[in-house]
């Protein structure tokens, strides 16, 4: 049986950054990354954006070239599925039956797209998006497609709509909730973004979901989608369908191994370590304790995957000197000419305060409060200099007796540092 000091399951952002971090801190160790994909670690972010519309070369997706891994002695097993994990004997089993033992392990297995199981979901022309191959399939299909239906109005759905509009396709988003992005952002921002998309030619069908993908049979016997029947009785013409309704974390391996899993996420502490010493988890699959927010979070964002990976790698090496994950969760999204950045935990809020008018050029902030404490901020088309100040208010977790004070644009954001105190004094 082969043995490695460090084994990383998953060659996504979190897994790759953990490997980079381990190699820096422990240059002589043996280190293996196992991934079921046929590629070296790459960035998924452009797959719904510039790569999809042909504005970014494939090579630019990859985090490092092959020589880097060879030179750094980071072994990567491609196209291999880890089928089971034995935490007591510290062994992973691969799909062809071989076993690998480890001293420390990182579970960075990410997530997979949630599937829709309705009549016609197996038709040609119905796609999901997670991998390079998925993006390539969408790109190839869009070359001949006329109209596109997108199922799911979250960030992936809105970014796909943005890409297909840029490619000139009539595009409709079908969203089950009352408006786009309703699971992520406040109502005012969501409605504003929805209107912006509509003004730019995207049809939005909210409050209904896909009931059937209707087939058209070609002379060659191919069964291809031609429309989407929706639950409200409507029918949308669609020569291709892209589905983006969220992901399911790949945590089955962990739960079968007896590790604690909560709502799909592998539970780890602030050091990103599970209850089993030496076994860590990071990225989309990890439900981590955030000392900053004093609760467990699971976040599916680029920055968190990178930051988690780097920290988990470091903590796997340093023993007693482990550091806590104190970063403030951040995500970004580009939708046509909108640049959205959000910091903090967007899920817990009882009040939202807007700073600035809903203006495309000048942009605006929405501050999310819970019991007077600022929990998150969403910035739409704001400059970095301002975004940084807003982010600092969230990371300081300031309390405000009157949150509405943040809407006062005559005051610089920096003047709100100090929360309640600042509110009184100014």
**C-beta of 176: minimal distance to ligand FAD in Å?**
20
Dist CA 288 CA 282 (whole Å): 8
Report whether 220 contacts 115 (CB < 8 A): no
Residue number, 270 or 398, with CB nearest to ligand FAD: 270
Nearest to 119 by CA among 227, 196, 29: 227
Residue among 7, 8, 14, 393 that touches ligand FAD (CB under 6 A): 14
User: Would you list the DSSP string of 373-393?
Assistant: EEEEEEEES--HHHHHHHHHH
Minimal distance in Å, beta carbon 137 to ligand FAD?
A: 13
Give the range of 4-12, 60-68, 96-104, 263-271 binding ligand FAD by CB under 6 A. 4-12
Residue 300 touching ligand FAD (CB under 6 A): yes
Decide whether 288 or 369 has the Cβ nearer to ligand FAD: 288
The beta-strand segments (E) located in 22-168 are: 31-34, 75-77, 82-86, 91-94, 99-107, 111-113, 126-128, 148-151
36 lies in the binding site for ligand FAD (CB under 6 A)? yes
From 348, 355, 396, select the one nearest 379 (Cα to Cα): 355
Pick 53 or 405: Cβ nearer ligand FAD: 53
Per rule CB under 6 A, is residue 331 in the interface with ligand FAD?
Answer: yes
Binding string, residues 41-60; x marks residues near ligand FAD by CB under 6 A: ---xx-xx------------
Query: Which residues, at least 6 apart from 366, have a Cβ–Cβ distance to it below 8 Å?
Result: 185, 186, 188, 189, 352, 353, 354, 355, 377, 378, 380
Coil, strand or helix: which one is 399?
strand
Question: For the chain, what is the radius of gyration of the CA atoms?
Answer: 23
Minimum CB separation of residue 119 from ligand FAD in Å reads: 26
DSSP code string of 1-37: -EEEEEEEE--SHHHHHHHHHHHHH-TTS-EEEE-SS
Size of the site for ligand FAD (CB under 6 A): 36
Which listed range, 53-61, 108-116, 144-152, 273-281, lies at the site for ligand FAD (CB under 6 A)? Answer: 108-116
Residues in 123-162 that interact with ligand FAD by CB under 6 A: 129-130, 156
Q: Which stretch binds ligand FAD (CB under 6 A): 102-110, 192-200, 256-264, 290-298?
A: 102-110
SS3 189: helix
The stretch among 191-199, 216-224, 259-267, 326-334 that binds ligand FAD (CB under 6 A) is: 326-334
In the bound state with ligand FAD, the residue whose beta carbon lies nearer, of 257 and 353, is: 257
CA distance 393 to 417: 6
Q: Rule CB under 6 A: is residue 325 a binding residue for ligand FAD?
A: no
Give me the least distance between CB of 36 and ligand FAD, in Å please: 4
CA distance 177 to 158: 14
Contact characters 238-277, ligand FAD, x per CB under 6 A: ------------x--x------------------------
Tell me whether residue 52 or residue 215 sits nearer to ligand FAD (CB atom). Answer: 52
Which residues make Cβ contacts (< 8 Å) with residue 396, sequence separation at least 6? 417, 419
Q: Which of 8, 23, 102, 111 binds ligand FAD (CB under 6 A)?
A: 111
Of positions 26, 175, 273, 284, contacts ligand FAD by CB under 6 A: 284
Under rule CB under 6 A, which residues in 72-91 are in contact with ligand FAD? 81-82
On whether the CB atoms of residues 423 and 402 are closer than 8 A, the answer is yes
The distance of closest approach from Cβ of residue 15 to ligand FAD in the complex, given in angstroms and rounded to an integer, is 5
The smaller minimum CB distance to ligand FAD, of residues 14 and 174, is found at: 14
Which residue shows structure tokens 């191919």?
222
User: What span, in angstroms and rounded, lies between the C-alpha atoms of 148 and 234?
Assistant: 15
Binding site for ligand FAD (CB under 6 A): 9-15, 34-37, 44-45, 47-48, 81-82, 108-111, 129-130, 156, 250, 253, 283-284, 300-303, 305, 331-333
């Amino acid at each position: 049986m082969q043995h490695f000091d460090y084994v990383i399951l998953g060659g996504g952002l979190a897994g790759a950054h953990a490997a980079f971090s381990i190699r820096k801190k422990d240059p002589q160790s043996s280190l293996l990354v196992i991934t079921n994909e046929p590629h070296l670690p790459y960035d998924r972010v452009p797959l719904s954006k510039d790569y999809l519309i042909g504005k970014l070369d494939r090579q630019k997706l990859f985090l490092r070239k092959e020589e880097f891994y060879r030179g750094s002695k980071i072994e990567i097993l491609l196209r291999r599925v880890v089928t089971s994990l034995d935490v007591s004997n510290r062994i992973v089993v691969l799909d062809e039956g071989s076993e690998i033992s480890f001293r420390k392990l990182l579970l960075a297995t990410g997530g997979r797209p949630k599937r829709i199981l309705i009549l016609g979901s197996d038709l040609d022309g119905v796609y999901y998006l997670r991998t390079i191959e998925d993006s390539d399939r969408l790109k190839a299909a869009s070359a001949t497609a006329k109209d596109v239906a997108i199922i799911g109005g979250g960030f992936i759905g809105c970014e796909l709509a943005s890409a297909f509009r840029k490619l000139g396709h009539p595009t409709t988003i079908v969203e089950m909730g009352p408006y786009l992005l309703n699971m992520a952002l406040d109502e005012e921002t969501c409605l504003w973004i929805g209107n912006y998309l509509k003004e730019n030619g995207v049809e939005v069908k909210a409050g209904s979901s896909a009931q059937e993908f209707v087939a058209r049979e070609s002379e060659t016997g191919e069964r291809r989608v031609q429309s989407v029947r929706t639950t409200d009785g409507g029918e949308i013409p669609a020569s291709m369908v892209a589905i983006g309704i969220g992901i399911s974390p790949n945590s089955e391996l962990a739960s079968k191994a007896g590790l604690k899993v909560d709502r799909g996420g592998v539970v780890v502490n602030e050091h990103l370590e599970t209850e089993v010493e030496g076994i860590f988890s990071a990225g989309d699959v990890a439900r981590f304790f955030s000392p900053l927010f004093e609760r467990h979070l699971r976040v599916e964002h680029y920055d968190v995957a990178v930051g988690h990976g780097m920290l988990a790698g470091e903590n796997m090496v340093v023993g007693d000197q482990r550091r806590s994950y104190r970063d403030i969760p951040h995500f970004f999204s580009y939708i046509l000419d909108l640049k959205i950045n959000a910091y903090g935990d967007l899920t817990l809020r009882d009040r939202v305060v807007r700073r600035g008018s809903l203006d495309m050029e000048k942009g605006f902030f929405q501050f999310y409060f819970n019991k007077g404490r600022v929990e998150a901020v969403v910035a739409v088309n704001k400059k970095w200099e301002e975004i940084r100040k807003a982010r600092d208010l969230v990371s300081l977790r300031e309390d405000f007796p009157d949150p509405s004070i943040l809407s006062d644009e005559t005051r610089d954001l920096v003047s709100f540092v100090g929360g309640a105190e600042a509110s009184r004094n100014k």
